[in-house]
Amino acid sequence: MKGKFIVLEGSDGSGKSTLALKIKDYFIKKGYEVEITREPGGTDISEKIRELLLDINNKEMDYKTEALLYAAARAQLVSQKIIPWIKEGKIVISERYVYSSLVYQGFGRNLGINEVKKINDFATSGIKPDLVILLDVDPEKGLKRKLSINGGDRLENEDITFHKSVYEGYKKLKSLFPEIVTVNAEGTIEEVFEDIKILLRRLP
């Protein structure tokens, strides 16, 4: 089978990591080789960039710097891991991709979706996923889940207005990118995964 690239997107605390593991199991049981990765991160260099981005002490970081660092981490991940894995015929599952930058930096930070898309087209050489699953959860609920677990990173500690604009950004993005499919993520993990399985079965 040809390699496949599946992306999980959604607000903080929407359950991406747990669902990525369930999708992995689903494909492994079917006999596929599967790789999971996360953004920002997934390579040694990208994980170092992640530390810079999420360090709660980096309060002076300019929004353009932030957008470029996310794109830089992504460029490394795409060239070092994602492209080779797809070429090897693997199923690649990524927690977040370009869409996160479009909403968090483009909408949330007001840098503009077109500007952010430009640097990301450059960073990714335009590699597009086969399926983008957008986990839809009320931003306040998601954030509460996250902050109760670990106190939150630099982005999670932004105020609720920022997270609401990220949530609205995801909704707007849907009309621009037909590969995005929304799944209601307010139910239990099992319920959400039942809906995801329908999408996975439809993959060509």
Which stretches of the chain bind ligand TYD, using CB under 6 A?
Answer: 12, 16, 38-40, 54, 70, 95-96, 100-101, 104-105, 146, 155-156
Nearer to ligand TYD, 21 or 198 (CB): 21
Return the DSSP state at 28: H
Compute the least distance from the CB of residue 7 to ligand TYD, in Å: 10
Query: Nearer Cβ to ligand TYD, position 61 or 199?
Result: 61
Positive/negative CA dihedral, 23, 91, 201, 13: positive
Side-chain-facing half-sphere of 125: CA atoms under 13 Å: 8
CA dihedral 20, 9, 35, 151 (to 10 degrees): -70
**Is the CB of residue 137 less than 8 Å from the CB of residue 16?**
no
Q: Which is nearer to ligand TYD, 76 or 100 (CB)?
A: 100
Between residues 33 and 154, which has the closer beta carbon with respect to ligand TYD?
154
**Other CB atoms within 10 Å distance of the CB of residue 55:** 12
Rounded to whole angstroms, the Cα distance separating 20 from 8 reads 7
Which runs of E-coded beta strand occur in 11-130?
34-38, 91-95
Shortest reach from residue 111's CB to ligand TYD, in Å: 11
CB closer to ligand TYD, 53 vs 131: 53
Smallest separation, CB 30 to ligand TYD (Å)? 26
Q: Coil, strand or helix: which one is 134?
A: strand
Closest approach, Cβ 52 to ligand TYD, in A, equals 12
Neighbour tally for 29: CB within 10 Å: 8
Of all residues in this chain, which one has the CB nearest to ligand TYD in the complex? 104
Nearest distance, CB of residue 191 and ligand TYD, angstroms:
20
